[in-house]
Amino acid sequence: MSGLERWFTDLWEGVWTVLVGMKITWRHLFTRKVTLHYPEERWQLPPKSRMRLFMKYEDCIGCGQCVRACPVQCIYLKADKRAPTSPAIFAANGQPIKLDVTVFDIDMSLCCYCNLCTYPCPTDCIYMTPEYEFATSDLTQHLYHFAKPNAKFLTVNPKAPATPPKPPTPAPVAGAPPQPAPPGPSAPPAPQAPPAPQAPPAPQAPPTPAAPSTSGAPGGGTPGAAPAGA
Amino acid sequence: MEFTRQLLGGLLGSLPPWLAVASYAAVPAVLLIIFMALGPIAYVYAETKIAGFMQDRIGPKRVGPHGLLQTIADAVKLLFKEAIYPAGADKLLFVLAPCVVVVGAYLSFVVVPFGRNLQAADLNVGLFYVVAVSSLSTVGLIMAGWASNNKYALFGAMRSAAQIVSYEIPAVMILLVVVMMVGSLSLQDIVAPQAGGLQNWFLWRYFPLMPIAFLVFFTSGLAECNRAPFDIPEAESELVAGFHTEYSGFFFAMFFMAEYTEMVVISAVASVLFLGGFLAPIPALQSLGPIGLGPFWLLAKAWTLVFVMMWLRWTLPRLRVDQLMHVAWKVLLPIAMALVVVIGGLVMWKPTSRGFPWDRWVGWPLTGLLVLFLATVMVRAFQWSRRRAQELAA
């Protein structure tokens, strides 16, 4: 191409491409915006999204497979043999619960959300929930205690199980739990009184007055809750 | 000033003439200062909103309804910030520079006609005055860069000055084209022949030529107020900010204010030159009963052009410095010179000789030729780009 022709070509191409670009931005001026106004609107997470872990204490048989599966060792479990005299209890799928889980802590600040802990669970009692808004200003608040005596985090089951979860003993334990922290290596806790025959369904608010077990515990129970290594 | 003279004439008749003139001038001056000081709040809001929309975002949303108070919050934040003087800075120049820039942007408003009588001063050298005064901001930029005692600020100022000086030449040549057509530098005289509706605007005269002139003027105006894609002087995402590197707080806000005011000035001048200024596109809409809509139409046109500037900003990538100079000296300047020559020749031809409006229609054969030429060029360009793509692919 000759120089002059090239000059006109470039000029035309410049003007033309500017117009093309303007057309594109003009179209985007009116397209649907992708911004999500977070606190007001929330993203509907897919049901299988892997967010905060949840452990249904009533179904845990204390086998510790989730602990071994965890690649970052963020699950701390302690379980003792139940007294032979105690009545037999069973997990939701019929597995007998032979161990008394005294400590079941999950440090969500370490969790890598890999979901590996949920596969080996024989009773499907540990799983990821779509709950993701659990940021705190204090990292230790991410240590969730699921075992009953110092449970800080026994929320309602977000997956809405078909059968109502069976809460363990409501009233009679009242004497035992006040010792908040999971015991050190030396002192195993007084074996938690075996749950009475499962009576009241609602897990989070047993109507009995002496119910320090569920939501009352977090304040006192947290600081001393040394994960105590599984 | 005519307007206020009529308004206040009786009241101030007894004053000595110099004081009376000063009083007449005070009203439009204060009005324009308010317009200029509060305008950027709206423009910055519009800019952020448009930027958001063009990027499929929403833009400011939290402060006030739909984020309307966001820029006010930003302005207050800037006002409360500490003004930092760099070590070794020339303090007087440092403080003076933003003032000069702002004054340069502001003074152009003096001749912008908002209506037949709504003009601060109808200077008979109006366009010349605009050119002279808008060059003042270059001085301010150089002062800012020099006084900052910072080599990057000085580089930025030099870049900026080089750019503004380069782009002023095509812009002034296009002004010359319009002045040749009208035979006057007064902005009122330039608006007057465009009366009678849309089809009489200078944009359509000598058909293919004046639109090209408009594009050239608009492009150089864009470069003169340092807007994208010509914002290399303050390329915020790749270079140190340029001449205002060392500025903070209110002085920085003043540079911002000047930039946005300059955008409005350029747009207003462009709409006066090509889009009929304060004249309505349909003569019936010129006034609403007794209320003249002149300011409305001028601002509508100017703000439309400002919108186009923002639109361009969020469309185009920034030019490199050499590309910048290439566009100014090798593209816009030849076109502007050709336009001066061609339209200068056509102006000699009496517009309505032989009972035919030559100034409206003489361009059409030329348009046909040009379209033909461009079509062939486009075909060639297409072939060339295909070949180029094959070469690159090979």
pLDDT (average), residues B316-323: 89
SS3 B288: strand
pLDDT score for A198: 45
Token reading at A29: 């001026």
Q: Which of A22, A26, A30, A40 to mutate to test the interface with B (most CBs of B within 10 A)?
A: A22
- What distance in Å separates the CA atoms of residue A197 and residue B291, rounded to the nearest whole number? 87
Chain B residues lying within 8 Å of A29, measured CB to CB: 50, 53-54
CB contact under 8 A, A25 and B381: no
Whether B103 shows a pLDDT value over 80: the answer reads yes
Whether B16 shows a pLDDT value over 70: the answer reads yes
The residue with greater pLDDT, A180 or A26, is: A26
Tally Cβ neighbours within 10 Å of residue A21: 16
- How many structural domains is chain A composed of? 1
Query: pLDDT tens, A121-177?
Result: 999 999 888 888 888 888 888 888 888 765 555 444 444 444 444 444 444 444 444
Angstroms from A30 CA to nearest CA on chain B: 7
pLDDT score for A75: 92
Tally Cβ neighbours within 10 Å of residue A173: 21
- What distance in Å separates the CA atoms of residue B166 and residue B220, rounded to the nearest whole number? 9
Range of the domain at A64: 44-196+209-221
Query: pLDDT tens, B130-161?
Result: 999 988 888 999 999 999 988 888 888 888 89
pLDDT score for A149: 62
Give every CB contact of residue B139 below 8 A, 6+ residues apart in sequence.
B100, B104
Angstroms from B51 CA to nearest CA on chain A: 9
Chain A residues lying within 8 Å of B317, measured CB to CB: none
Whether B17 shows a pLDDT value over 80: the answer reads no
Pick from B342, B356, B359, B367: which is nearest to B194 by CA? Answer: B359
pLDDT band per the 50, 70, 90 thresholds, residue B362: low
- Whole-angstrom CA distances from B62 to B73, B201, B246 are 11, 42, 30
CB contact under 8 A, B314 and A25: yes
Strands B287-288 and A126-128: unpaired
CB contact under 8 A, A33 and B53: yes
Candidate from B61, B316, B380 with C-beta closest to A5: B380
Angstroms from A23 CA to nearest CA on chain B: 9
Pick from B234, B177, B230, B235: which is nearest to B202 by CA? Answer: B177
pLDDT score for B263: 92
Query: pLDDT tens, A197-224?
Result: 444 444 444 444 443 444 433 443 344 4
Q: What is the mean pLDDT of chain A?
A: 72
Q: Which residue has the tokens 């900010």?
A: B241
- Indicate the DSSP class of residue B130: H
Angstroms from B261 CA to nearest CA on chain A: 24
Task: Find out whether A169 and A194 touch, Cβ atoms under 8 Å.
Answer: yes
Highest mean pLDDT among B11-15, B144-148, B349-353: B144-148
Whether B322 shows a pLDDT value over 60: the answer reads yes
Chain A residues lying within 8 Å of B311, measured CB to CB: 22, 25-26
Q: What is the CATH number of the domain that holds A133?
A: 3.30.70
At position A131, the amino acid (one-letter code) is: E
Per-residue three-class SS string for chain A = CCHHHHHHHHHHHHHHHHHHHHHHHHHHHHCCCCCCCCCCCCCCCCCCCCCCEEECHHHCCCCCHHHHHCCCCCEEEEEEECCCCCCCCECCCCCECCEEEEEEEEECCCCCCCCCCCCCCCCCCEEECCCCCCCCCCHHHHEEECCHHHCCCCCCCCCCCCCCCCCCCCCHHHHCCCCCCCCCCCCCCCCCCCCCCCCCCCCCCCCCCCCCCCCCCHHHHCCCCCCCCC
CB contact under 8 A, B58 and A33: yes
Which chain A residue has its CA at the smallest distance from B327's CA? A11
pLDDT band per the 50, 70, 90 thresholds, residue B24: confident
Q: What's the residue count for chain B?
A: 394
Chain B residues lying within 8 Å of A31, measured CB to CB: 56
In a domain, A3, yes or no: no
Q: Which residue has the tokens 């050298």?
A: B125
- What distance in Å separates the CA atoms of residue A20 and residue B183, rounded to the nearest whole number? 38
Beta bridge partners, A104, equal A77
Tally Cβ neighbours within 10 Å of residue B52: 19
Query: pLDDT tens, A78-88?
Result: 888 888 888 88
pLDDT score for B4: 64
In a domain, A119, yes or no: yes
ipTM of this complex prediction, to 2 decimal places:
0.82
Angstroms from A21 CA to nearest CA on chain B: 6
Consecutive H or E run containing B292? strand B291-292
- What distance in Å separates the CA atoms of residue B347 and residue B351, rounded to the nearest whole number? 7
pLDDT band per the 50, 70, 90 thresholds, residue B3: low
Give every CB contact of residue B73 below 8 A, 6+ residues apart in sequence.
B63
pLDDT score for A173: 41
pLDDT (average), residues B215-232: 89
Candidate from A13, A29, A35 with C-beta closest to B381: A13
Beta bridge partners, A76, equal A105
Q: What's the residue count for chain A?
A: 230
- What distance in Å separates the CA atoms of residue A224 and residue A213, rounded to the nearest whole number? 16
Token reading at A218: 């977090």
Q: Give yes or no for a cis peptide into A96 (omega within 30° of 0).
A: no
Angstroms from B56 CA to nearest CA on chain A: 5
In a domain, A115, yes or no: yes
Query: pLDDT tens, A50-92?
Result: 888 988 888 889 899 999 999 999 999 988 888 888 888 888 8
Q: Which of A28, A36, A38 to mutate to test the interface with B (most CBs of B within 10 A)?
A: A28
Query: pLDDT tens, B240-289?
Result: 778 888 898 888 888 888 889 999 999 999 999 999 889 999 888 888 87
In a domain, A229, yes or no: no
pLDDT band per the 50, 70, 90 thresholds, residue A230: very low
Consecutive H or E run containing B220? helix B209-224
Pick from A169, A152, A146: which is nearest to A79 by CA? Answer: A146
- What distance in Å separates the CA atoms of residue A19 and residue A2, rounded to the nearest whole number? 26
Q: Which of B49, B54, B319 to mutate to test the interface with A (most CBs of A within 10 A)?
A: B54
Q: Which of B222, B324, B377, B385 to mutate to test the interface with A (most CBs of A within 10 A)?
A: B377
Return the exposure string of B338-355: e unless at least 16 CB atoms fall within 10 Å of the residue's CB, then b.
ebbeebeebbeeeeeeee
CB contact under 8 A, B57 and A28: no
Give every CB contact of residue B108 below 8 A, 6+ residues apart in sequence.
B129, B130, B133, B134, B262, B265, B269
Task: Find out whether A153 and A219 touch, Cβ atoms under 8 Å.
Answer: no
pLDDT score for A150: 56
Least confident among A29-33, A44-48, A194-198, B145-149: A194-198
Beta bridge partners, A90, equal A96
| pTM, two decimal places | 0.75
pLDDT score for B352: 60
pLDDT score for A3: 78
Q: What is the mean pLDDT of chain B?
A: 85
pLDDT band per the 50, 70, 90 thresholds, residue B363: low
pLDDT score for A216: 38
